[in-house]
Amino acid sequence: MDLKALIRDIPDFPKPGIVFRDITTLLQDPEGFRYTIDSLAEQCAAFSPDYIVGMESRGFIFGAPLAYQLNVGFIPVRKPGKLPGAVHTVEYELEYGIDRLEMHQDAMNGGCRVLIVDDLIATGGTAAATAKLIEQVGCELVGFGFIIELTGLNGRRNLPDVPIVTLVQY
């Protein structure tokens, strides 16, 4: 299936010169969405994760059904102040400042195997920060799964040396 045909390009969003890869059109297509989750599951099953970790918010969209497909748990990583319990926190740099991500402290025990899933890898900053959260709790990062990779931004070089699955490259 040609997933690129299901991903809409929005020029000059969120600012001039940027081409936004909009996955909402992929999500609207039942066969395309199913193919996406099935493809990720097929390519990531060999990593044998105990948990899928997805980052707010589009990582939830793909991570939760992937966890269901692989029969493993799903753990959300959120922006500050969104989780009700005690959290682990990691700060990371953005091109325009600093941001934070949080994960419940009781989300997983040390020693588990974790696959991080998000819709897109650009510079890799959010995924790298999430990997640091996994490291904080003493779990093993077994890989990353992304729907889209923006290859020109070289995000892979900012990630730990584990397998990276991407379904579409631009």
Domains belonging to the chain, first-starting first, are: 47-169 (3.40.50.2020)
Q: Which of 21, 42, 93, 95 is catalytic?
A: 95
82: which DSSP letter?
-
Contact indicator for 52, 67 with CB cutoff of 8 Å: yes
pLDDT for 2 beyond 80:
yes
Using a 10 angstrom Cβ sphere, with 0-12 exposed, 13-18 middle and 19 or more buried, the burial of residue 144 is buried
Is residue 157 annotated as a catalytic residue, yes or no? no
Tell me, what's the pLDDT at 38?
98
Per-residue confidence (pLDDT) for residue 93, from 0 to 100? 85
Which of 127, 105, 111 minimizes the C-alpha distance to 53?
127
Q: What is the pLDDT of residue 96?
A: 74
Is 58 an active-site residue? yes
Q: What is the pLDDT of residue 145?
A: 98
- pLDDT for res 94: 77
Q: Which of 8, 34, 58, 140 is catalytic?
A: 58
pTM greater than the 0.85 cutoff? yes
Give per-residue pLDDT as tens, 78-126: 999 999 999 999 999 876 789 999 999 999 999 999 999 999 999 999 9
- Structure confidence by residue, pLDDT tens digits, 12-49: 999 999 999 999 999 999 999 999 999 999 999 999 99
Place of tokens 């994760």: 49
Mean per-residue pLDDT, 48-72: 98
Is the separation of the CB atoms in 120 and 21 below 8 Å? yes
